[in-house]
């Protein structure tokens, strides 16, 4: 029985579909009381969840420990801060040059291999006498692997959960873990560094990646590669990756949805990037700074959990456009240079905008052919992190020449204009009955999903 949230035969979902029957459908996946419970009822997903929790905590703790280690070795605030920046910028390398890995190799092999490479990189940071340059290079390796891993996992969720409501809720769980790991990881990392050395914390990071690899190896099925072309028919990895990105960006619908995925986070992250100077402006101590840093993730976790638990598919989809715009509106409040309490509230409200992703996830997976889904998810993730890194840098540069009470609300105004423009483009590209995906010969390189979605395949 098809899930009520699965796209129509055109292969896409309308921007604000009439899903009046969705909530009343008999499918357990769509039944509102089940919600996240239905996702965790799938044993394979529980392994993916546990692995993601381990690796996410490992990444956050690694960032803190590496920053402290580099500062102790160099006494350079610039190099210490660079360890965080290097966690974002190399995403574009992995996302564009290696994205074909997600489709041309079996998913479990890719996921386990990525975790093992990350464990090896983290172990390299632990070695005594490792030069600072090598530490930074290894940090880049971790960041370049991340989009390939995230894209492969996102595409694999479709095989594990199907591509209806369970897929959307599964993606939501992944986002909740990301935000929660940011909160718990910073707290755990800071606590660990008071009792053990940064090298010991990095060793724990390597162990977390190994644990994640073991969970994925034992708990997920061996599925064949999504790109079923024989080896002789494939190009080089680099050519396949760039070619896949070109195919995705050539499709107007996919391009619009990618922009809707990238732009709100790019503007949302600007107030967060300027929190340190803003806290200095307010004269808050470490406790106040901690409150500011935690506000946005807390708002995101609460909103994601409440929307996923209490709203049905139709209501979640209808929130997509309003919440996408709302996410950038609270930045306007910084024009009044609010006190600590009001600033915390504005940041928490900003975090609630993450709930716009429910609708975007549904439309995006419906718009992409199965053979390109891994590459599409990798490009999506890499693009998001890259534009966030660029936005942080541009915001910092602007704050060198203009006061924060101007830069932060100006970002909000620009964000509203850009997001609204993208929303109009998404509406204009709603699918018609003759939907085809433009391949090299203007045909589809793979099936665009129909009423029941593609059949999950399992390796013998």
Please check the confidence at residue 436 and state whether its pLDDT lies above 70.
no
Q: What are phi and psi of 124, to 5 degrees?
A: -65, -30
Give the 3-state secondary structure of residue 162. Answer: coil
What would the pLDDT profile of 228-279 be if each residue is shown by its tens digit? 554 434 568 778 788 888 888 899 999 999 999 999 999 999 998 888 888 8
Residue 437 banded pLDDT, cuts 50, 70, 90: low
Reading the block at residue 210, the tokens are 């190994």
What would the pLDDT profile of 98-155 be if each residue is shown by its tens digit? 888 888 889 999 999 999 999 999 999 998 888 988 998 998 899 889 889 988 998 8
pLDDT recorded at residue 29: 38
Contact 351, 300 (CB under 8 A): yes
pLDDT recorded at residue 290: 78
Number of H helices, E strands in the chain: 19, 0
Contact 308, 172 (CB under 8 A): yes
Residue showing tokens 């940064």: 198
Mean pLDDT comparison of 152-166, 211-225, 381-395, highest-scoring range: 211-225
Residue 449 banded pLDDT, cuts 50, 70, 90: very low
pLDDT recorded at residue 116: 96
Please check the confidence at residue 74 and state whether its pLDDT lies above 60.
yes
Give strand ranges (E) for 325-428. Answer: none
Task: Calculate the average pLDDT of the chain.
Answer: 81
pLDDT recorded at residue 234: 56
Least confident range from 85-89, 106-110, 440-444: namely 440-444
For residue 10, how many other CB atoms are within 10 A of its CB?
A: 19
* Coarse DSSP helix, strand, coil percentages of the chain, rounded to the nearest 5 percent: 75, 0, 25
Contact 329, 412 (CB under 8 A): yes
DSSP 447: P
Contact 264, 420 (CB under 8 A): no
Contact 139, 66 (CB under 8 A): yes
Arithmetic mean of pLDDT, 165-191: 86
Q: Among candidates 155, 162, 176, 159, which has minimal Cα distance to 30? A: 162
Q: Among candidates 158, 193, 185, which has minimal Cα distance to 59? A: 185
pLDDT recorded at residue 19: 37
Q: What radius of gyration do the chain's Cα atoms show? A: 22
C-alpha 274/C-alpha 408 separation (Å) is 8
Residue showing tokens 């006190």: 339
Please check the confidence at residue 370 and state whether its pLDDT lies above 90.
no
pLDDT recorded at residue 434: 53
What would the pLDDT profile of 8-57 be if each residue is shown by its tens digit? 333 333 333 333 333 333 333 333 447 888 999 999 999 999 999 999 98
Contacts of 376 (CB under 8 A, 6+ apart): 151, 155, 244, 248, 254, 364, 368
C-alpha 60/C-alpha 87 separation (Å) is 10
> Whole-prediction pTM value?
0.77
Contact 210, 216 (CB under 8 A): no
Contacts of 243 (CB under 8 A, 6+ apart): 235
Reading the block at residue 363, the tokens are 């439309």
| Element housing 234 (H / E) | none
Residue 443 banded pLDDT, cuts 50, 70, 90: very low
- Percent of the chain past pLDDT 90, that is, above it, reads 38
List domains and CATH numbers for the chain.
35-227 (1.20.1250.20), 236-430 (1.20.1250.20)
pLDDT recorded at residue 273: 83
Q: Measuring CA to CA, how many Å separate 431 from each of 118, 184, 200, 303?
A: 40, 41, 53, 29
């Amino acid at each position: 029985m098809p899930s009520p949230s699965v796209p129509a035969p055109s292969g896409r979902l309308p921007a604000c579909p009439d899903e009046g029957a969705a909530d009343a459908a008999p499918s357990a996946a769509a039944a509102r009381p089940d919600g996240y419970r239905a996702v965790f009822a799938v044993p394979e997903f529980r392994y993916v969840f546990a692995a993601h929790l381990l690796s996410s905590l490992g990444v956050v703790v690694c960032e803190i420990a590496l920053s402290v280690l580099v500062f102790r070795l160099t006494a350079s605030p610039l190099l210490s801060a660079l360890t965080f920046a290097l966690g974002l910028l190399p995403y574009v390398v992995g996302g564009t040059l290696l994205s074909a890995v997600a489709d041309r190799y079996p998913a479990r092999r890719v996921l386990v291999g990525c975790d093992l490479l990350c464990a090896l990189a983290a172990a390299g940071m632990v070695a005594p006498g490792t030069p600072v340059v090598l530490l930074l290079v290894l940090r880049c390796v971790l960041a370049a692997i991340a989009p390939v891993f995230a894209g492969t996992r996102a595409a694999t969720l479709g095989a594990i959960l199907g591509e209806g409501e369970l897929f959307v809720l599964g993606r939501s769980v992944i986002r909740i873990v990301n935000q929660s790991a940011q909160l718990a990881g910073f707290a755990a990392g800071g606590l660990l560094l008071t009792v053990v050395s940064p090298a010991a914390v990095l060793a724990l990071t390597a162990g977390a990646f190994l644990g994640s690899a073991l969970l994925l190896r034992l708990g997920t099925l061996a599925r064949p590669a999504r790109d079923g072309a024989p080896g002789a028919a494939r190009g080089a990895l680099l050519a396949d990756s760039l070619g896949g990105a070109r195919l995705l960006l050539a499709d107007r619908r996919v391009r619009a949805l990618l922009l809707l995925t990238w732009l709100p986070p790019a503007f949302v992250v600007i107030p967060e990037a300027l929190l340190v100077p803003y806290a200095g402006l307010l004269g808050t101590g470490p406790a106040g700074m901690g409150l500011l840093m935690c506000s946005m993730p807390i708002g995101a976790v609460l909103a994601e959990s409440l929307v996923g638990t209490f709203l049905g598919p139709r209501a979640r989809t209808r929130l997509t456009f309003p919440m996408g715009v709302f996410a950038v509106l609270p930045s306007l409040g910084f024009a009044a240079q609010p006190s600590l309490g009001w600033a915390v509230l504005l940041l928490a409200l900003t975090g609630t905008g993450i709930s716009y992703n429910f609708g975007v996830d549904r439309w995006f997976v419906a718009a992409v052919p199965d053979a390109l889904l891994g590459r599409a998810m990798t490009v999506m993730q890499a693009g998001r992190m890259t534009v966030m890194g660029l936005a942080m840098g541009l915001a910092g540069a602007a704050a060198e020449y203009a006061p924060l009470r101007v830069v932060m609300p100006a970002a909000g105004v620009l964000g509203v204009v850009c997001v609204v423009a993208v929303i109009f483009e998404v509406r204009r590209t709603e699918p018609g009955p003759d939907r085809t995906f433009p391949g090299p010969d203007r045909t589809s390189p793979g099936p665009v999903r129909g009423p029941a979605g593609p059949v999950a395949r399992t390796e013998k």
